Structures are given as C-alpha cells and as structure tokens.
Chain A
Amino acid sequence: MSVTMESSQRSRLSELVEELTTSGQPQLNQAKIKEVKKICRTSNDCVEHLYHLVMTQLNEEHSEVRLSAFQIATELFSRSHHFRMLLVENFQEFLELTVETDSDQPLPPPKEVAKKLRSQAIQTVQTWQSTYGAAYKKLALGYHFLKQVKKVDFQDAEARTVAERRREEERRRRLERLYKDKVEAATKDMDESFPEIQATLTQMESCMDLLFPQFELPNIQSVSSSPSNRQPVNKRPRHEEPPHHEEPPRHEEPPHCSTDVGQCYSKDKNRKESREERRTKDVRVKETSEGDKEEGDEGETERKQETDEREEKEEDEESDEEEGEEDCDEEDFFMRSSGLISYSYSLDLNLSPGLHVEETEDNEAVVSTVMDLHRLITTKYLPAVQGWVQVFTKAGAEQQLLRRALDVKRSLEAALQKEQELNIHSKTRIRRVMKSVNGESRVDDEDDEDDDDDNFDEVPEKEGYEPHIPEHLRAEYGLEPTPSTSTAPVPPLSSSSSSSSSSRQLQKLKDEEQDPTCAAATLRLLRQNLPLSTEPSTSSSSQKTSVHAPVVPFGLDLYYWGQKQPNAGKIIKAASQHQFWVPTEVEEEVENQQLLAESRSRVISFPGSFPPVSHHCGAPLPPGGVCQRQDRLKCPFHGPIIPRDKEGRPLRQEDRRREEQEERRKKEQQPDWRDEELMRDIEAATGENLGSDRVRRKGKGKKKKFPNLSDLKQSSDTSRSRLQRKVFNKSSMRRVAEVMKTADSRKHDKFSNQFNYALN
C-alpha cells in the first residue's frame, strides 16, 4: 500500500516539477507548488526525490527551466531541513548552476532570464546565509566564497560579480579614452581651422558690405518697419546702377508716367479723395523718380529727395487750397504753377518685400565670391563645427571649448542668415535655378554650372562626323542645301531647291557627279530615278520626298543606271599565254545571264512594317494583378498569349483546362530551393502568402515539446546560420574537397619528382 502510494506520489512529483519548470513563467504556479509542498511534507523520501528532480532541471541548458527549478528549491529550502541538508551538501553545483561561479559554465540563454536567475540566486543565498548560515557550515562557506573570492557585492542591486564590474569599468574607460582622443582631435582641428573660419567670415562680411553697404541696413529696417509706403524706397540697392553716375539726374524731368487726362478729370471730380491717398500718390511719384535717379552719390540723392518731397508737398497744399475753384481754372493753375499737365498720375511699382540684390556685370565677382563662401560655409565649416559641438557635448569637454565652438557656429549661421536676407539672384541664373532640384542648392548649382562652362574648352568638331553641316559648307560636302536640316536661318538658300541656282555650286556638283562614291552622285541618280519626287518646287515637298524616298547603298546597278552595259554579264577568260601548251577550246567570252541580271538588279530587303503590340500577356500573378508584358506571341513567363479576362482567367475552355493541369504538375514537383520553414518565416514576417502552405510537408512535423519555454534555437536561425548550413553541409564540403584533391593530384602527377613544385 505504502509502496504504491510512494510511487504514485513520486510520479506526481515528477509531473509537477516538469510542469512547473517548463511553464516558462517568471513566477511559479501557486497551486502547483502548494501541491508539491504537500507531497514533500509526507516523507523525507519525497523530499529527496524532489531534490534530485530539481537538480536535474537545474542542469538543463535553459535559463527559464533553471529559474523555475531554483524557485522550487527556494520554496523547499525554507521548509525542509532534509532538503537543506541535501542542497547544502551539493552547494557547489547549485551555485555553479545558478550564480555562475564557474566561468567555464556560463548560464544558458535566454540572457534576460539568466540575469534574473543570477540576481535572484545571489539574493536568496544572502537570505539563506542570514537565516541558516550558522547551522550549515557549507552554506556559510559558499556565501563567503561568493563574497570574498567571487567578490559578489550583495548590496549591489544588479548583483554583478567583480569580473562584470571590471568589464563595465573597462568599457567605460575605453569610451572615455575614445572621447578624450576625439575631443583632442576636435580641439586641434578647431584650432587649426579657426583662423580660416574667421577669415571666411570676414570675407563674407566685407563682401556683403560691398553688395549692400552697412550703413544702409538700419535705415532700411527702420523704414520697412514704419507703416508708410516709403519702405520700398531703398529696395534697389545703390550699387546696382553705378554706370549712371555721369548721367544727369532724371528726377527733374516731368514724371515719366502715363498721364491720363481722362483719368485726371475723373480724379479731379473726385476731389473729395482723402488727402492721405493723394499723398501716397505723390510719394509714389517721388519714389519712381528716386528709383530711376542714379544712386551713386548718396548725399545728393538725399538732398534731391528732400527737395522733391517739399515740392510735392507744396503742390499738394496748393491743390488742396484750390479745391473749391472751378475745374478748368484749377487745371490751368496747376499747369502753370507746377509745370505738370495733370496732378493725378498713376504710377505702377512692383514692390516686393525684403532686400534683393541683382547680379550685374559689375558685382559679379563679389556675388560669386559670396556664393563660394556660402558653399564653403554650408558644406565644410558648418558640418565641422556641428561635429565639434557634438563631440564636446558628448564627451563633456570643457565649457570653454564648447562655448568657443558654439560661438563659431553662431557666427557662421549669422553670416549665412545675412546672406540669405540679401536674396542674391540674377536673371541670368534664374534659368538654371529652374533646373536645380531644390532651392537650397540653387546658388551652388549656378556656380557649378559656371565653373563647368569655364572648365570646358571649345573642342573642334570631330572629323568625319558633322551632325550639323553649316550651310555655306554644304556644297563642299556635295550636298545641296536642304531645307529640312537648316533651321531656316538662311531662307534664301533654303528656298533654292534642287535646281541649285548658284553657279558655283552647280559646277561643283557636276564635278562630283563623276565620282560615284560621292553622295552627290547618288543624289543625282536618285533624282533621275525618281523624277517626280526630285523636283520639289517647295521646301515642304522636298521634305516629303526625303521622308519617302528610300536611301539605298551605292551599287553596280546604280553605277550603270540607265546605261547600256557593254560588258555586263560577260565572263572574259584570258587565253593561255603559254608557248606550246594550249587549252583545247576556250570560249573567251561567256555570257552569264545571272551576272547580267545581278548587275542590273538590286536586292532590297523588306522587313515589313512594325505594328506595335497592343495586347498584354494578362496571366494572373501571385501577388495579385495580371502580367503586363507585351510580347507578340509568347510571354517568357506565362507561355503563349491567349485571350484572358480581367482577372487573368483564360476565356477559352481548353486553355483553362490546360492551365489547371500545369498548376497541378507544378505543385507536385516543388523546387528544392523553396525551404518550407524559411518561407514560413518570411511569411510570418511580411504577412504575405508566398505559398509555403503549398509546399508538401515532409514527415509529420515534430511538435514542440515545451511550447511555453522560449525557443533557444530561434535566435540561431539567422541568414548567416542558414548560409552556413548550406555552405558547410557534408556533401558540398566533400565536393569541394574532391575538386581540390583532383587539382592537387594533378600537380602531384606532373611535378612530383621536382621538389620545388612538390613542396607547394
């Protein structure tokens, strides 16, 4: 009775332990462990059995199993003295399996669980030591061993060993060293390029000063910030019109705007218009004048502007005073007093906000320098400086260095910003701007293209190939000036068609017509051959003929075109010159009809016309959709092209049947490269059906023994390991070895008695 009880208990214990350890859970199932404890309580034999079970599970090469087994052990350790005895007796092994005391036996994967197991085990050993250390000598020894030899810091939350800590420290030190090196390199780099950057900045600054004098800037800004319409006054930089220096100031001329009398009248009628509006108008007038006036002399400009303004103001006041007077009088008066025909002018000004610098010939050099500098800063200095800043912040370098680097960065960015504000552009470059993909690289592209143009020398046209023959040289080439090729820059010449008018040309042609290799001769023959088409009266008709007339290579038939050939088709055999040996009867001339025909005929191959294929293959594709290949008869992938519907199903019944058969056959002979598992993996990853289910399953498919445990082999299923499987499998190795052996043996056969070959 007791024996059966015992055995049933034992088997139950084994079951429970296996279930508990293969659950893969970080915590034990409370009900099950309770049952285990209940069984163990009955007798020491059960405890011993459990101990052995636990030790077996602890020896498993799987950290999850070990963790669970360890947890069972901790549960029992606090309960049973017998279990404690047994475990402490074998405490070395226990520590090896849970705390990794033996470096030759590292804890098995998965890593995370192993780490957890380790830290848990260390904490548990500590609690055991504090509770039972005095009673169990080996436990105390083990604890001291961990503490003093393995240098486990029990206070350390991560419970790292000395080795780990050292490794950590080493890594940190190495990083530090790396950072230090980096910082040093960056500092050196910065020190070296600092003057360069400074120089660049200075250059940029001065360039911008040149483009846009500094003292203007604040003025502009204040103006632009004010609500009045004065803002655009300075929109055109002074430097733009330096050549107008000597020109007399034009602002004294009557405003060169269109003076619309009718409008003037209407305006006059609307005298009630607010004064502000008028003033605006006046200002506009003044602006225009100012815009047009030359701007080299600043002081003068200012003065003029003032006088102008005053003048206008006076006029304004006058007109205001005269508001009540009659229209005609007013007009007269106005004309008299101001010399202006009308006092209402409409001026159209395009005001775009911000600054614009137009590139002209005069500031080209400066602008290009600015662009060069811009490129230099954006491509070289700014990334470098950013790198330094990154290095300094990462490495926690000195504040001073960091500040310096930041300063440099800021000044560079400021320079770039300023450059951007200038809005440098020019009409000549805008065209190219369109080509550039992004606006950012606009400037760069422009410069690049300029550079390209500069760098390319003018290369003379290749001899023998002239895609465009100059019109005046066409005669030399034996060509008549064809209107089709000329882009009509010389209309008189092009209009003169085949009846080439110029005598010189005619003569030349005649000369060349004798030469059958010359194109002129061919043309002549062609013309004779096709008299209709060769006499185009207009350029358009000649164009048409040149399209329709076939171009054929020169041949005998052309050479004797229209002539009576005296020797055509005759084979002339030379009579023997021998003294006394004479052939019997030789026909000296043999007429050969074939040859005769050949000399008159011409073989023209006619490939026929090429009607483009308009149909698609239309076979269904695995990822959906239909094949879009446009083959005439047969698709290389889907065979003969047959009529199909939208989904790719054949329309005809027999086609459908044939396709089904094919499908079935293909399924049966699955190519071996289709690794079923790999495909399934890929499918799982991509979520697409690649047809792994179609692959026949070999064997019954081993079911995973413990589905709850994390799979250790999973991680090893990498592309590398798969390749390894392929490359290093036995058969391929054998094959390679055989090949190498044969190569070797050949060498051996040849050179075996020559030691210097035999040696290697």
Chain B
Amino acid sequence: MLGFLAARQTGLDDPLRLRRAESTRRVFGLELNPDRDVDQVHGNGINTIDIEAVEGRYMLSGGSDGVIVIYDLENYSGKPQYTCKAVCTIGRSNRYVHKFSVETVQWYPYDTGMIVSSSFDKTMKVWDTETLKPAEVFEFEGNVYSHHLSPIARKHSLIAVGTKYPKIQLCDLKSGSRTHVLQGHRAEVLSVRWSPRYEHILATASADSKVKVWDVRRATGSLFTLDQHNGDKSKASSEAVNTAHNGRVNGLCFTGDGLYILTTGTDDRMRLWNSATGENTLVNYGKVCNESRKKVQFTVSRGCSPEFVFVPCGSSIAVYALHTGELVTMLRGHYNNVDCCEFHPDYQELYSGGKDCNILAWVPVLRVSDMEEKSRNSNNKVAADQTPVDPAFQDAWSSDED
C-alpha cells in the first residue's frame, strides 16, 4: 500500500494502478458489516436492485409485493454506523403501484429524476422520482421478465423488454411507443442487456437456452447466437446446437468494459463469452447453484485488476475471479435465496437482495492490522479506544469450569 502510494506520489505509476490495487484489496475484504444496515421496507422478497450511475448515491429496489423503494446510500453522519434510509417508497398505498411482483428496476442512466420499472402485471412504467407518478406506461401481452436501458446510449433512448413471449420489444422513450420487435427466440426472454461499449448492441437470454446478440440497427436478425461448443458439431447433439446452456438461461451480464458477456443457466453453470465474436471462453466456474425460474441479477466488479463476478448461489453470493474462474469467497448472510446483487463501483460495496426480504450491504473491512501496528507503536490504549471492545466479543468462561 505504501509502495503504491509512493509510486503514485512520484508519478512512477499510472494512477489507475493504485486505484485498482486498492479496489481489489477492498473487494477481497468484503464482508457483512454490522455498521451498515439497509432499512427493511419490503415485506416480501426483493427481486431487483439498481444503483444509479450519476452520483452513486441512490439505490433502487423492487420487491415481489410490487413495491419500489429508493434508498440513500451516502453516509453523511460521520459515524461508521449507518442505516441506509428509504428516501421514498412507491408502496401499496400509491395508486400507481405495480399490481404484481416488480421484476426489474433501473435508473435512467443520465439523471436521477427518472426510473423505469417492469412487472409481472404486464406493464413497464416510467416514473418521475419527484412526484412518484408514472410518466409513461407500456403495456404488454405477457409478464415482463426484464428490461434494460442502454447505459451509454446517446443516439437512441430505447428500452429493450423481454416478456413471456419470445419477441423482444424495443420501446422508445422519446415517442413513448414500441418501435421494434426482435424475433428469433423460441421461448420467454428472461434477460436483456445493452452493451456498455456499443450503444446498438443488445444481448438477450431466453428460456430456450439460447443467448442472442443483436445489432438493433439490423433488421434481418441477430448478429450471432452464443454456442457453448463454439460450433463444434461433434460435441453438440442436434437440438443443442447454438445453445448457451443446457437449461434456461436466466442471467446475463456484460463486463464493465463490454468485452465479455457472462451468462448463467439452470444447468448450474456460468459461462464467459467474448462479446465481439460470441466465442465461449471456456472458463470453468464450477457449479453455480441456480434454480430460479425468473431472472437472476448478478454483477461484475469495476475497476479491479482481476475483475470479480458476484453471482447469487442459493442463499449465498459466490465471488469468482472473472477470467480464471477461481472461487474467491462465498458471502453468506442471507437466510433464503438471493435474487439480485449490485456492485457499487465507487466504494467497492456490494448490495444484495433476497427472498428473506433483506437487502444486505457487503462492505469492505477496514485494514485493522495497519492501524493496530500504528497504535501499538503509540499505545495500547489507543487501540482500545479505536475499537471499543464489545463485551459480546469476550469470552465468558465461568470459574467453575476450571
């Protein structure tokens, strides 16, 4: 750490290196922190969360009860103990509230004044966060599993929507109408994602175990379909041709730079694909438990030197090194299945929501050892002051055991 700092000071290093090193270190130190709580507003499982990209301050969550909550993540109190307060809630009392489970929520990438939510009540709503009223409501024939706004789009403001029906709809926020239909899947589309690199590139994952990559400017069809066997016909049975998984593909995520696509399927596998060629990189992540029939929202770290994948795995969150497939750690804290997790790139914090109604904040532990070293030099008392010993942490052997 000191070496990095010195190098940074002397200008030997790229500023990015220190940042990456520290971020990586912090990600390694993620754990459930008693100092950080998130208000428990949801009375039911949490399906989706999203942290806005503008300030990184507000977090959005959508629950199975149709409730959408906005939290303030920023701790201005100056104390380590902080409970993320719910700033506003679109609760059951709101007349515009989603009737059924909210499947996806997303901030408008350029402004915190707008959020988009889609739900099993076959609607997608565009909300004004000031008034908490829908500015626009899109209605579909089937349950909406997933939608996505391009995080980088400048030339268009399309929302890709995956519903119960295989056609992918593109809704234009400018006109408030559905402009495109992308055909090619054979079953419900569980997850859609825009590329963070090219604004017209869209990836979709479907229950027909296929993942397609589209260029929305092309009318004829998808660019390519991800094939788990990389076109090796001998390995694939006839019906498994061009499939990404041997089951439903319910998770889809681009890496931060948009060069890779990660998919998870109900075959308990996670695969990493080259987003440019559609090639399976054949990284072995081992078994990633996945029984969800709906979308699984997982995330990739940003700004670390080996990137990490945070993927829900049963009631815990598995952390893998992205390119090696090595399991870094399992974050265990939820008491029921985890449905979604979101990485906060600024603070290297992870937020996860699950069926146990909790949103847990996984916060990097502070480097206690360094402080201890320092404090040991000065005085032992300082350490006691800095880390006040909780009586609960002390052993309580009674004398009669001697």
Contact = CB atoms under 8 A, between A and B. Distances in A.
Interface of A: 34, 37-38, 41, 78-82, 84, 89-90, 92, 95, 101, 131-132, 134-138, 140-142, 144-145, 148-149
A36 to B, nearest CB: 9
Interface of B: 32-34, 40, 43, 315, 332-336, 355-358, 360, 390, 392-398, 400-402
Nearest to B394: A81
A137 B395 contact: no
Contacts, number: 72
B332 A141 contact: no
A136 B335 contact: no
Nearest to B44: A149
A428 B300 CA distance: 106
Contact of B34 (A81, A136, A142): A136
Nearest to A95: B335
A80 B395 contact: yes
Contacts of B394: 81
A79 B397 contact: yes
Contacts of A148: 40, 43, 357
Contacts of A38: 401-402
Contact of A141 (B333, B355, B397, B402): B333
Q: Name the 10 nearest CB pairs between A and B, nearest first.
A: A135-B392, A137-B34, A145-B335, A37-B401, A132-B392, A135-B390, A38-B401, A145-B356, A41-B397, A149-B356
Nearest to A132: B392
Given A135-B393, A141-B358, A92 B34 contact: no
A141 B335 contact: yes
20 contacts: A37-B397, A41-B397, A80-B396, A80-B397, A81-B395, A89-B332, A101-B335, A135-B34, A135-B390, A135-B392, A136-B34, A138-B32, A138-B333, A140-B34, A141-B358, A142-B335, A144-B40, A145-B335, A145-B356, A149-B356
Contacts of A37: 397, 401
Given A79-B395, A92-B315, A34 B400 contact: yes
Contact of A92 (B40, B43, B332): B332
Nearest to A39: B401
Nearest to A140: B34
B33 A137 contact: yes
A81 B401 CA distance: 16
A600 B253 CA distance: 122
A78 B401 contact: no
A121 to B, nearest CB: 14
Contacts of A141: 32, 333, 335, 358, 360
B237 to A, nearest CB: 31
A95 B401 CA distance: 28
B396 A145 contact: no
Contact of A79 (B43, B392, B396): B396
A135 B315 CA distance: 22
Contacts of B392: 81, 84, 131-132, 134-136
Nearest to A89: B332
Most buried by A among B32, B34, B332: B34
A278 B401 CA distance: 105
Most buried by A among B334, B335, B356, B396: B335
A145 B315 CA distance: 13
A101 B336 CA distance: 9
B65 to A, nearest CB: 13
Contacts of A90: 332
A328 B336 CA distance: 125
B34 A149 contact: no
Contacts of A89: 332
A137 B358 contact: no
Nearest to A142: B335
Nearest to B401: A37
A90 B335 CA distance: 10
Contacts of A144: 40, 358
Contacts of B332: 89-90, 92, 138
Nearest to B316: A92
Contacts of B358: 141, 144-145
A257 B400 CA distance: 108
A35 to B, nearest CB: 9
B402 A149 contact: no
Nearest to A146: B335
A127 to B, nearest CB: 13
Nearest to B35: A137
B179 to A, nearest CB: 42
Given A79-B397, A89-B332, 20 more contacts: A34-B401, A38-B401, A41-B402, A78-B396, A79-B395, A79-B401, A84-B392, A90-B332, A92-B335, A134-B34, A134-B392, A135-B393, A136-B392, A137-B32, A138-B332, A141-B360, A144-B358, A145-B356, A149-B335, A149-B336
B399 to A, nearest CB: 11
A335 to B, nearest CB: 117
A38 B393 CA distance: 19
Contacts of A138: 32, 332-333
B82 to A, nearest CB: 13
Most buried by B among A132, A138, A144, A149: A149
Contacts of B355: 149
Contacts of A95: 335
Given A148-B357, A149-B357, A81 B335 contact: no
Contacts of A81: 392-395
A144 B40 CA distance: 10
Nearest to B398: A79
Most buried by A among B390, B394, B395, B400: B395
A760 to B, nearest CB: 32
Contacts of A149: 335-336, 355-357
A8 to B, nearest CB: 18
